[in-house]
Structure formats: C-alpha cells, structure tokens
Amino acid sequence: MEIRDADTPLLRLRGLLGHRRPPGYALRLAPCGCVHTFGLPFSLELRWFDANGKLLRVDGHVPPWRVRWCRGARSVVEVPLPR
C-alpha cells in the first residue's frame, strides 16, 4: 500500500477526513503522538514509530469517534481498514 506524507500542519489536521470510503493509501503523520478518528466513516490501523523509526506499537482496529496516543511516538501511519 502506498504511504503518503502529511508533513504540514494543515495536512496533519485534515488527515483522512473527507473520504467517504477508505482511500487506497495510508497516511504518515509526523510529528504526531496522538490521533483522533472523529468524523471518519471507517476504522483505522495505527502504526506508531519513535524518532529513530522503530515500531513502538500497532493499534489494530480503531473505530470512528476514538482517540489514541502512544508515549514516545514521533510519527504514526494511519492505515484505512475496509468496511
């Protein structure tokens, strides 16, 4: 799956909002240590990374209207899950 970078404040703020269906790409937010799924019509898998790119944790199924954070994370990859 293609990973696109959300490397500006505006792109990080928007994230995957505005998609009615899961897009065919994942989104990397950096810097980022907290994510919300408010307003998303689909669930996400969240892959959290530290400053060195080491995988810290995977949140496998985060439904809409949730907040997740990861201590020590400097970036996260949001992977949209099929409905």
How long, in residues, is the chain? 83
User: Tens of pLDDT along 12-48?
Assistant: 888 888 889 999 999 999 999 999 999 999 999 999 9
**How far is the C-alpha of 48 from the C-alpha of 50, rounded, in Å?**
7
The mean pLDDT value for 43-67 works out to: 98
Rg of the chain on CA atoms, in Å: 12
pTM comes to 0.92
How is residue 54 written in tokens? 């080491």
